Structure formats: C-alpha cells, structure tokens
Amino acid sequence: MTVPQIPRNDAARKQSSAPYLVPLLVGGLVAVALGVYGREHTPTGYAVGPAGFSGAQAMKSWLATGAFVLAIVQVISALAMYGKIPGLQAPPWTGTLHRWSGRLAFVLSVPVAFHCLYALGAQFDVPRVLVHSLLGTFFYGVFVAKMLSLPKRDLPGWTLPVLGGLAFTALTGLWLTSSFWFFTTFGITF
Ligand code: HEM
C-alpha cells in the first residue's frame, strides 16, 4: 500500500520548523559547554600581564567597562534603526555603528572571559560570583544564537530584538557583578 504523499508548501514547512530553533540550540550548547568547562577544569590561576594596570582585576574591570559602554551604543543604535527613538531619523551609518560597536564589545570581552574561565573557573560559593559566572556563560550562548540568526531571512520579527536585548541584559549583569563591584570596593583605580 503506497502512503499518499501530502503536498507540503514550503512556507508552512518553514514556519513549522521554527527557523530560530537551530541558533537557539547551538547557543544553548555553547553556554552549557562553557559552564561545564568552567566547573570541571582545575582553575590555573594563570596571571595575565596587566599591561600598565595595577593588576588583572583592574585591567579586566576597565576592558569590561569598555565592552559595556559599546553595548549601550549598540542598544541606542538598534532603537534608532527600529525607529523607536521619537523624532530621530536614523542616519545611514547607524547600521555600521551598530555592527562595529557589537564586534568591538565582543572582542574586548574575550580576553576578560578567557582569564575568568581559564584562571578562575565558574565559582558558585559567593552569590555575586555565582550570578556572574552563570551570566558569563549565558552571554556567549546568546551571542552565538544572535550571530547564527543574523543571516536568516525567515525569522519572526521579534527574534533579533529579543536576542539582542538578552545579550545586553546579560552584559549589564556581568558588568554590575564585576567591574561595578570592583570600582565600588577598591575605588576607580587603573
Ligand atoms: C564566561 C564565563 C565567565 C565566568 C565563569 C566568570 C567567572 C569569574 C570569576 C569566578 C571571577 C572572580 C570573581 C571574584 O572573585 O571577585 C571573575 C572576575 C571578573 N569577571 Fe568574569 N566570568 C565570566 C565571564 C566574564 C565576562 C564575559 C566579563 C565581561 C565582559 C567578565 C568580567 C569580569 C571582571 C571585570 C572580573 C574582575 C572583577 C572581579 O573580580 O569581580 N567575566 N569572573
């Protein structure tokens, strides 16, 4: 008995298979992998050359602050691009500003997160550091999900704003649980 083939139109098939699923799954895997590595490997205590700063914490706190400021530029440029800032017609270079502030924020975060994960690992003994460690792995998961979603043309309209918003919220939490804590505990020092 031959099973009748039900004709399926591509649009229905695309909608049903949720084009954002793969980016979300890969992003989730990246977050879990970083978390497992952060918990399972023995922290090395590897000391980076603080490059003119008083120490690794100060250097990381300033790099993370740079990433946070660039992320704010990202949010403002995204709001302008989506026409959410009343009375502001986004200049033609807003897209470029958004892309490059995002890339630079990511690049500034990498050496910081490398030191966090490799030298310190994911630590759960202090609530501030537990939240920080979880947000760190979540941030890269969301970042990967957003980058994988960018080239996709069949995504629901909410996908990029939601992923962008989650990445910014995670980076804000990361900054508050590290740089802000450092500067309010030890002062604004280099
Ligand atoms: C990827 C996962 C991450 C893990 C597991 C992690 C973990 C940690 C841990 C355990 C500390 C030491 C906290 C302390 O004893 O005070 C730390 C410090 C720090 N982290 Fe992360 N972190 C991660 C990602 C990030 C990211 C993405 C940033 C910023 C972009 C960041 C910024 C900092 C800064 C500035 C410090 C030094 C200030 C401090 O000691 O709190 N971390 N991190």
1: confidence class by pLDDT, cuts 50, 70, 90: very low
- The predicted structure's pLDDT at residue 106: 96
Helix or strand run (H / E) with residue 15: helix 10-16
What percent of the chain stands above pLDDT 90? 73
Do 138 and 59 meet the contact criterion of CB atoms below 8 Å apart? no
Q: To test ligand 1's pocket by mutation, which of 132, 133, 186, 189 has the most ligand atoms within 8 angstroms of CB? A: 132
| Between 1 and 28, the higher pLDDT residue | 28
Sign, CA torsion 115/117/118/119: positive
Written as six digits, the tokens of 45 are 């205590």
pLDDT per residue as tens digits for the range 38-56: 999 988 877 666 678 888 8
- 41 CA → ligand 1 middle, Å: 16
Q: Which residue is listed with tokens 């009375």?
A: 87
In a domain, 1, yes or no: no
What is the domain extent for residue 79?
A: 54-186
> What is the distance in A from the centroid of ligand 1 to the CA of 171?
11
Please tell me the distance from the alpha carbon of residue 18 to that of residue 145, in angstroms, as a whole number. Answer: 14
Asked if residue 123 belongs to a domain, the reply is yes
Amino acid 50: pLDDT: 66
Evaluate whether residue 81 is within a structural domain.
yes
How many Cβ atoms sit within 10 Å of the Cβ of residue 70?
20
Read off the pTM.
0.88
Predicted local confidence at residue 130, as pLDDT: 97
Tokens of 146: 């957003």
Residue 120 lies in a domain: yes
Count of the separate structural domains present in the chain:
1
Distance, CA of 60 to CA of 177 (rounded, Å)? 12
Mutate to test the pocket of ligand 1, among 54, 109, 120 (most ligand atoms within 8 A of CB): 120
Q: Which residue has the higher pLDDT, 12 or 27?
A: 27
For residues 24 and 42, what is the distance between their CA atoms, to the nearest angstrom? 29
Task: Give the pLDDT confidence of 85-139 residue by residue, as tens digits.
Answer: 999 889 999 999 999 999 999 999 999 999 999 999 999 999 999 999 999 999 9
Residue 99 lies in a domain: yes
Evaluate: CB of 170 within 6 angstroms of ligand 1: no
Contact of 134 with 35, CB cutoff 8 Å: yes
Higher pLDDT, 128 or 155: 128
Residue 141 falls inside a structural domain: yes
**Residue 97 belongs to some domain of the structure:** yes
Ligand 1: atom nearest CA of 177 is 41
Tell me how far the alpha carbon of residue 49 lies from the centroid of ligand 1, in angstroms.
17
Task: Tell me, using a 6 A CB cutoff, whether residue 137 lines ligand 1.
Answer: yes
The answer to the question of residue 8 being in a domain is no
The closest-lying atom of ligand 1 relative to the alpha carbon of residue 123 is 10
